[in-house]
Amino acid sequence: MNGAESVLRTLAASGVEVCFANPGTSEMHLVAAMDRVPEVRGILTLFEGVASAAADGYARLAGKPAATLLHLGPGFGNAFANVHNAYKGRTPMVNLVGDHAVLHRPLGAPLTSDVEAIAGPASHWLRSARDAREAAVLAAEAVAVARSGAVATLVLPADAGWDESLGPAAPLSVGGLPTVPEEAVEAAARALRSGKAALLLGGSTTRERGLAAAARIAAGTGAAVVHDTFTPVLSRGGSRPRARLLPYLTELAVDALAGFEQLIVVGTRPPVGFFAYPGKPSLLWSPDSAVTVLATAEEDALTALEAVADLVGAEPEPVEPLARPELPTGGALDLMTLTAAVGALLPDDAVVVDEAVTASALFQEQTGGAGEHDYLFLTGGAIGWGLPAATGAAVGAPGRPVFNFEADGSAMYTIQALWTQAREELDVTTIVVANRSYAILEFEFSRVGAEGDGAAARALMDIGRPELDFAGLARAQGVPGRRVDDVPGLIDALQEAIAEPGPHLIEALV
């Protein structure tokens, strides 16, 4: 058995079921091994950035890592932005990066580059196999590391794939996350009892288990429950316990955290601005707040949160579902009617992938009254994540409808993801909010104190010349695409997409 097959069999034995691939020549032995190891399903993408975001979306839903298969340094470069998003969200992910054969690499062939340097900033774990014998052992380690919430990157020289190996390595047991010390639990409990308090939840704590513990703490102490602006998955809707979104805008986030004497941080970091702005603070909490970190993202935040709830919590009142917005029946198609229609029609048990950028706040608000659903956020801030993350989410959550709220600017980074949606017949509805601009930049332009309103600057934020035809881009890749410019058309398109399985794209002109 060659090294490639031993690696793939190791992944399979360790529970990896899917590999999002964009292979090249140096990965051909891994590709060949796919037929001998059917436990790992290869899914082809047309660009590495699709593969990495798909693996991110998959793992957030499936709760276990997918593999990616990437081609040397440039392949990792193409994947980088979405590996970064996974890295910041601590999504389990195993990247297999083919490289030149060991003795070929020093020769300076065109595709040679320093893979490890490129992969390092987005990998919690990074190793390079020296030979076929070592490859499977490192693959087992990569999966075990990834399963505890990490991006693991394994560089595989081509000859480590084609040379004879010792066969697959046994799965390694996953060492859980470090337990939070009892003192930190007690400190958080004391803080919650000693003044007006807010819990800031992030990482793993914004799903049902964490939200339930936070609700008990809120019932026992009156603490406010707030969640990170970009948490990996927020379980919400129906009668689930709710948390308030920490706003994206520095000013609004500072307002949201003002007046709390105690800020207890769980599964994330003390909150900082997405960007710095001249004259505005980078730290979002009030200088008058005491900050207590109950658990970082690298610790077992869920167990710690439950321990605090056991100390200070009480049984919460049942949660009343919020009202859904009325289904609009007419009027112009604008952000308000668009998001209201989506909120009115979002199916139960949906998965939402939100990269709507300037439209995100309204989508979040208007879908709050929908049935239970999971809401995925852009954890690393690198756009070009939405379409492929939705692709992977649909693979990771079969049977659940996936909705991707997408901005037109960010959609164009990884538009190739639609092809994989069509190829795999995935149940993804992409709603492109077509405002024909990088609206977030027009907004940020003045916020950072940039001066001037000239044509040259505006041109770098205007994507309306020429007009992009997103419905056409979808159809050209095998995805039914519709452009809608009024409310009845939108509702018809949404109802069609909900009724028909498989991918759909709705381009909403607002």
Beta carbon of residue 76, minimum distance to a second copy (angstroms, whole number): 8
* Cα–Cα distances in angstroms (integers) from residue 255 to residues 55, 259, 285, in the given order: 36, 8, 9
Instruction: Considering the complex, state which of residue 37 and residue 342 has its C-beta at the smaller distance from a second copy.
Output: 37
Beta carbon of residue 344, minimum distance to a second copy (angstroms, whole number): 30
Q: Are 167 and 33 in contact (CB under 8 A)?
A: no
Instruction: Considering the complex, state which of residue 295 and residue 307 has its C-beta at the smaller distance from a second copy.
Output: 295
Beta carbon of residue 224, minimum distance to a second copy (angstroms, whole number): 23
Instruction: Considering the complex, state which of residue 209 and residue 436 has its C-beta at the smaller distance from a second copy.
Output: 436
Question: SS in 3 state form for 467-485?
Answer: CCCHHHHHHCCCCCEEEEC
Q: Are 102 and 163 in contact (CB under 8 A)?
A: no
- Which positions ≥6 away from 359 have C-beta within 8 Å? 335, 338, 339, 405, 407, 433, 510
Beta carbon of residue 90, minimum distance to a second copy (angstroms, whole number): 12
Instruction: Considering the complex, state which of residue 81 and residue 180 has its C-beta at the smaller distance from a second copy.
Output: 81
Helix 48-62 to helix 386-396 angle (10° resolution) is: 40
Beta carbon of residue 454, minimum distance to a second copy (angstroms, whole number): 3
Bridge partner list, 504:
429
Beta carbon of residue 431, minimum distance to a second copy (angstroms, whole number): 17
Instruction: Considering the complex, state which of residue 24 and residue 369 has its C-beta at the smaller distance from a second copy.
Output: 24
Q: What SS3 class is residue 414?
A: coil
Instruction: Considering the complex, state which of residue 116 and residue 334 has its C-beta at the smaller distance from a second copy.
Output: 116
Amino acid 327 reads L
Rg (CA), the chain: 23
Instruction: Considering the complex, state which of residue 108 and residue 399 has its C-beta at the smaller distance from a second copy.
Output: 108
Displacement of CA 460 from its chain's centroid (Å):
27
Displacement of CA 386 from its chain's centroid (Å):
8
Q: Are 283 and 272 in contact (CB under 8 A)?
A: yes
Beta carbon of residue 279, minimum distance to a second copy (angstroms, whole number): 10
Angle at the Cα of 136 (from 131 to 138), degrees rounded to 5? 85
